[in-house]
Structure 1
Amino acid sequence: MTVHAFVDESRRQDTYHLAAAVVHPRQLRQTRSQLRGLLFPGQRELHFKKETLPRKRLIVSTLCALGVEVGVYSASCRLGEERARQECLTRLARDLVGVGAMRLVLDSREGRDFRDRETIGRVLRKVGRDVPLTYEHVASQDEPLLWIADVAAWCHGAGQDWARRIEPVLGEVVGLDWP
């Protein structure tokens, strides 16, 4: 399956949620356009946490109509947020290799991106064969498809009504436990 994955995260209390929006290449341009259409004049990106309640509802409704799927990986932060992230990213990278994904785009965390590169590189080396998966970090204002993962991670982590609203786009939800 030729797909692209766009990744962002959310933390709720002691749980880290890593969301990956999976988009088919034929959907990339139209989906980006629809997401940009949600921006106010002068607004550079959607950051769900900062949106008003009516806007949040509109954004979630729009996402549910886009035809994308989002996987969510969750882990406890009790041994550290970075460790939780890398555990989630390890599982995500293995899953993406398993479905033959071509591209992984992560929301940049600037000075911490090297940790993601180490984790993904380790997963790809373990596969031991040529895999088509390429990966990069991009600022969220430069890639609207990252906004899908931002919204899904926030809603899933919020639980209750927000989790119910985002459920139509959720694919696999993976809970990871520490050994």
Structure 2
Amino acid sequence: MHAFVDETKQHGLLIVSTLTEVCHLQQARKVLQSKRLPGQNRIHFKTERDSRRHEICSALCALKVRVMVYDATAIKDAVEARTDCLTAVVEDLAALGGRRLTIEQDDSLVQADRRTFYNAVRKFDVAATLEYEHRRPNQEPLLWVSDAVAWCVAKGGDWRRRVDPLITQVRKLS
């Protein structure tokens, strides 16, 4: 099991983890890359037109992935919210036998994230089995799924409904 993590801070922190089995990675990446427009090096949901968002949501729902949402909007301290979310991601991956966690790289947060992951993999006794890394979104198409779902959940309404088939859990943190 691999996890791909992105976030939105639109109305407080939401972290989204897209999970898939290793055997589905290649096909998912191929489908996602085929959805890029000429000249795009990635799909970034906030910059897409609504018609493209509809098309992309439909493609996402056909992938063999599932999504977990970590809602820390009730936590006002941004550092605490992020730490709690990332720790919960590791906890859930440990329970699922996860082997790899890829998080979208934000250079200003890499060191803090590494401290959080270092502590979390030890807390949940997966230091020897769970690898984690930061990647830029143009380097890993499965980060685009988490980006899209985070955007849709934050927007709510019909956008949330479009990605509901992907969401297996919403974990509220406080």
C-alpha distance in 2 between matches for 1:21 and 1:129: 19
Distance 1:27 1:123, change over 3 A: same
Within 5 Å, give how 1:33-44 maps onto structure 2.
Answer: 33-44=30-41
Contact 2:74 2:173 in 1 (8 A): no
Question: Among residues 85, 88, 102, which one is paired with 2:85 in the alignment?
Answer: 88
Question: Which of 144, 148, 172 matches 2:145?
Answer: 148
Q: Does 1:137 align with 2:134?
A: yes
Q: Please tell me whether the aligned partners of residues 94 and 123 of structure 1 are also in contact (alpha carbons under 8 angstroms).
A: yes
Percent identical among aligned pairs is: 37
- In structure 2, the CA distance between the partners of 1:129 and 1:86, relative to structure 1 (3 Å rule), is closer
Of the three residues 7, 26, 32, the one matched with 2:29 is: 32
Summarize deviations over 1:128-175 as a string: whole Å, max 9, x none.
465410000000011001000001111111111111110000011101
CA distance in 2, matches of 1:96, 1:78: 22
3-state DSSP of counterpart to 2:14: strand
Alignment partner, residue 43 of structure 2: 46
Would you say the 8 A contact 2:75–2:173 is kept in 1? no
CA distance in 1, matches of 2:138, 2:101: 17
Aligned to 1:59: 56
**Cα deviations by residue, 1:67-100 (Å, 9 ceiling, x for unpaired):** 2101000113653323211111111111111111
Residues 10, 17 of structure 1: 8 Å contact kept? yes
5+ residue gaps in structure 2?
none
Contact 1:77-1:83 at 8 Å conserved across structures: no
Pairwise CA distance, 1:43: 0.6
Q: Tell me: CA distance 1:136–1:100, structure 2 relative to 1, closer, same or farther (3 Å).
A: same
TM-score where L is the length of structure 2? 0.95
CA contact (8 A) 1:97 1:131 kept: no
Please report the TM-score for the alignment, with normalisation by the length of structure 1. 0.93
The letter for the 1-side match of 2:131 is: T
Instruction: Tell me by how many angstroms 1:21 deviates.
Output: 0.4
Considering only aligned residues, what root-mean-square deviation do their CA atoms show, in Å? 1.3
- 2:127 and 2:82 mapped to 1: Cα distance? 25
| Secondary structure of the structure 2 residue equivalent to 1:110 | coil
Give the Cα–Cα distance (whole angstroms) in 2 for the partners of residues 18 and 119 of structure 1: 15
